[in-house]
Amino acid sequence: MDLSPLVSYGWDDAWADEFAPYLSEGLVAGRVIRVDRGQCDVATADGVIRADTAFVTPHDPMRVVCTGDWVAVEPSGHPRYVRAYLPRRTAFVRSTSSKRSEGQILAANVDHAVVAVSLAVELDLGRVERFLALAWESGAQPVVVLTKADLVPDPATLGHLVQDVETAAPGVPVLTASSATGEGLDVLEAVLAGGTAVLLGQSGAGKSTLANALLGADVMEVQATRDMDGKGRHTTTTRNLLVLPGGGVLIDTPGLRGVGLWDAETGVGQVFAEIEEFAADCRFQDCAHVAEPGCAVLEAVDSGALPERRLDSYRKLIRENQRIVAKTDARVRAEIRRDWKRKGAEGRAAMEAKRGRW
């Protein structure tokens, strides 16, 4: 089978090797471009097909089929079923809004996580840091794009805003772009070419408008944002994978009002790399950077080397992540206990049945 049409979706030799066992079974390779209500649209070498995910929908929400997955699909049938998905290279995950300690996977096999931040409203650096922690934890390379740059015509003011975000995003490219004027789109297109990018941000951040500009067509619906706070309704309601004309693919996502961390200790550490560097010189290894003697982090704040806002944000995300991890561990322990009880009951029933036969 000629799989070259899948190259534009990111197919490569490594994916071909992963898929080889399924190819020998006569299954069809494809990439999930949309998921909704237990079904998904899959781009295959012969075009887009509709498939059911019932066979690969486990109880664990982290292991459901999601946009960006490479899957093995039945060659025929009605409905056609996804039989398996290939091991993910990266996965963008956040905590769910439910009280259960579950993660929600938003996109898979992503190379770049593009965090869209609107310049139409005051910058929320804490939210940027939150998005970046999740992006780093996913395994993707984060990129911050300050959208609606045409609303900040003064170059000096724009430069200061970029500098503020760069301080909150060490090691992350910070680009400015305007879908209205086309400013900065060529640079972003070059960054995204040849890989898979997921577009993240709040409602009203200009994601759908930016996606349309990158696609060169009005593919994504756009709605006006409120002047008072820059927020908009959720224009995008599903995650859609779209091929970019300049190369690469883009996954547009719904606006995220809640962006909860999900076991993102490594990601938080990368966002606040300078704090962890200061912490290496603290007197105590378990220093909480609150009031301990010999705390190099607090000394950095006092000297002006570390903004106090950064430390406050770091503490907040660390505390939140610790709560999530604690809940997760508790859930795992509860599941183990239930499993022990189930196996114990089965064992007792088997013994009683055996005694009954004696």
Phi and psi at 2, nearest 5°, equal -85, 115
Distance between CA atoms of residues 358 and 337, nearest Å: 32
pLDDT at 311 over 50: yes
Express each pLDDT in 266-288 by its tens digit. Answer: 888 899 999 999 999 999 988 98
Q: Provide the mean pLDDT of the chain.
A: 84
Query: Which pLDDT score, from 0 to 100, does residue 227 have?
Result: 42
pLDDT at 8 over 50: yes
Please state the rounded mean pLDDT for residues 87-102: 71
Q: Would you say the C-alpha torsion 259, 268, 274, 144 has a positive or negative sign?
A: negative
Please state the rounded mean pLDDT for residues 47-53: 94
What pLDDT band is residue 56 in, cutting at 50, 70 and 90? confident
Express each pLDDT in 151-199 by its tens digit. Answer: 999 999 999 999 999 999 999 999 999 999 999 999 999 999 989 999 9
Residue type, 182: G
Nearest to 72 by CA among 86, 62, 60: 86
Q: Which residues contact 55 (CB under 8 A, 6 or more apart)?
A: 81, 82, 83
Query: Which pLDDT score, from 0 to 100, does residue 138 have?
Result: 86
* DSSP codes joined into one string, 244-310: -TTSSEEEE----S--B--S-HHHHHHHTHHHHHHHTT-SSTT--SSS-TT-HHHHHHHHTSS-HHH
pLDDT at 357 over 60: no
pLDDT at 208 over 90: no
Rounded-to-5 percentages of helix, strand, coil across the chain: 40, 20, 40
CA triple 223-224-225, angle to 5 deg: 120
What pLDDT band is residue 248 in, cutting at 50, 70 and 90? very high
Q: Which residues contact 290 (CB under 8 A, 6 or more apart)?
A: 298
User: The tokens of 178 are what?
Assistant: 């305007």
Higher pLDDT, 173 or 233: 173
Distance between CA atoms of residues 10 and 31, nearest Å: 9
Distance between CA atoms of residues 30 and 93, nearest Å: 22
